[in-house]
Structure 1
Amino acid sequence: MSLNIEKIRSMFPVLHQEVHGRPLIYFDNAATTQKPKSVIDALSRYYEFDNANIHRGAHALADRATRYFENTRESIRDFINAREEAEIIFTKGTTESINLVAATFGRKFIHKGDEILISTMEHHSNIVPWQMLCEEKEAILKVIPITEEGEIIWESFLQLLTEKTKLVSIVHASNALGTINPIKNIVAKAHEVGAKVLIDGAQSTSHLDINVQELDCDFLAFSAHKLYGPTGLGVLYGKREVLEIMPPYQGGGEMIKEVSFENTTFNEIPFKFEAGTPNIGDVIAFKKSLDFIKEIGKSDIKSHEDDLLQYAANGLNEIKGFIPVGTAKEKVSVISFNIQGMHPFDVGMMLDAKGIAVRTGHHCTQPLMQRFGLEGTVRASFAVYNSKSEIDQLVESVARIAKIKNK
């Protein structure tokens, strides 16, 4: 099915503006996606008509806000095919979701000499929490190496995976390279040695169909703002049997059943992990993001983004001085590159002057950049509202920049 890109673009107010006197071309979607007007309107509507705290009020506004809030939880359950709504926990983002697992599951079940396994391509948010936990618990953090193309070395993964491995925490799709990891196979092998698996789904959830029951992962972390939703909102999925044996993350209201000065009993999941007043308005608005994705269709979105990725790669690879970084066979719509003899920041600034928004730097993956001997890259990342004509302008601009340096 061919998508009506102009119709889709009309739903995103931010796209219809000029930057430095040129029409905006937004290729920074791996950092954050833009928001359709339906999401913006839903957020405004909550504060205009439904503003109330949830779960505890007996009045009409509280009832409406609670219903809309929990409707989003059900939409997320459906979006990732979780077994039940209780397995869906709201957080501030992927980073907090990972930290929640480290602070609860990690502190209870990781002990001295135990091993945690991550990969070379992890975002800092899937490295630092485990470093902190390992230091506290005297556990060992091990790293799966990758190839020059940016793919996990499977034999090395199997060698590193042992009976001492208690947790594998791994990115589904690399934010810096676009590489899609073989998650289902990784989960199956990890479970063979009794290890739990956390998937960093920050990038994959916007590009790939996610079925947590089919993947059989124990945890999945992702963010709303990479799914055409609000910032400051994330999700942690966890299997009920694992969540129930984990201690609470924070103490306060909502996460309790009864409190006395002598003792406190904790609430059921997911509320045990949702202390205090949550980000109600953004949670309610996030449902509109999921509705938008469902209306277009994940398979059609992926097909369009795959087409854009291949089209961009074909054009850019013809440019003298263009150096691609990350050439895995299976990728989401991310292209990282450098121009021979130029700093990525300079390339990014030159593209910005032409109204083209890309990301430059290490992309919160400094160990990955060190693996390739780089300070950073230029990253162009595509979403459903991007077009081939925009990519034509990217290719033309990169060619001109490269020609300046590589005459």
Structure 2
Amino acid sequence: MHLAAHFPGVDNTTVWADPDSGSQIEFASFEHLARTAERGLFDFLFLAEGLRLREHKGRIHDLDVVGRPESITVLNALAAVTERLGLAATVDAGFNEPYELARRFATLDHLSGGRAAWNVVTSSDAFTGENFRRGGYLDRAERYPRAAEFLDTARELWDSWTPDGIPRPFAHRGRHFDIAGEFTLPRSPQGHPVVIQAGDSEEGREFAASAADVVLARQRSLEDGRVFYADVKRRLAKYGRAPGDLKIMPGVGVVLGDTAAEAQERAAEIRRQQTSPQTALLTLEQIWGVDLSSYDPDGPLPDIDPVVDPALAHGRTRRGDTVAIAEKWRALSKEKGLSIRETVIEAGGRHFFTGTPEAVARELDEHVRREAADGFVLVPHLIPGGLDEFVDRVVPLLQERGAFRTEYRGTTLRSHLGLPEPGNRR
């Protein structure tokens, strides 16, 4: 089983009102979570990205976190206070250039001794793009083609030095990038940084099968996970890849208790803290596309149909068919007799593993054994101590089951993940 830790703070996962919640900016918070993950022998620490403060109805979304350091800078600092933990940064391929970004990741990979990872994301969002020189609008159909060429170009740069340390000129002539010159850094101890991808669409799954080393999945049940796992793994063969060349790791929460009832009670309270009445209404507005401030969050869902208004919630607009989502949520609400807030909690959150440490260890192990996942990215609801209990109480049980390592057997992130070092293509 592979385990990773996500430092939350981009959405409403974190319960900021909790007295044990710390800063999402101070380095001590990042260091605490990283040291805890390494103590637990995790594969990597993962940082998300937010390039612009999100808005709702034309104003900064006041229930969202404001203030987020640049990820690679934080990870360079964490490289100095960790020894084995992988260091993964989310960086948008739409608002960067291949040479500059390849150099930054190669630097992190060298400073950390081969522990860097890049979560490749794309954006067609002109709202975010206003923060950048280009104005940032990229047609949605161009997102993955540009990202694929961006990644391929970065790999050409990482491969431009010979294995014995001799630099060679590079030249890339493509649709999106036309660059030539000499790269400043030799190959790192793991060859290339590990590549992570999180898209769940058809294009995203194909991109992951062709180019990624790790997929951050979003499935909410064992059966959904098995379907996604089988679908993505079967795509690998067409690219000459083996099933083990790509690790599928859903993002999950874990809530523990001394009894099952205590854990369920804690989980319900955490979900309610994550989804306040105001958050529930604003979440619903992202789907319905209209102002719902007059609705009672403890009352029934709107009986009106959604309208398309992408300006309502900049940076938070939900993808997909909003009418279909609304119908699904109405059916769920009717079936279980749920209010607006209860429906958002039930339908909108990530999967939680809830129970005693023994029960959670057993369920995590089952998901891996039944090929619903290769491991998990744990998303704690508290910063910086939200991972401590899992490492202290669940990791030893996973080790007793033979489901998780008892020591690091290598020094690079690729060795933790069981991934081959990429050959030099030049």
The TM-score bracket by the shorter chain reads under 0.3
- Alignment TM-score, normalising by the size of structure 1: 0.27
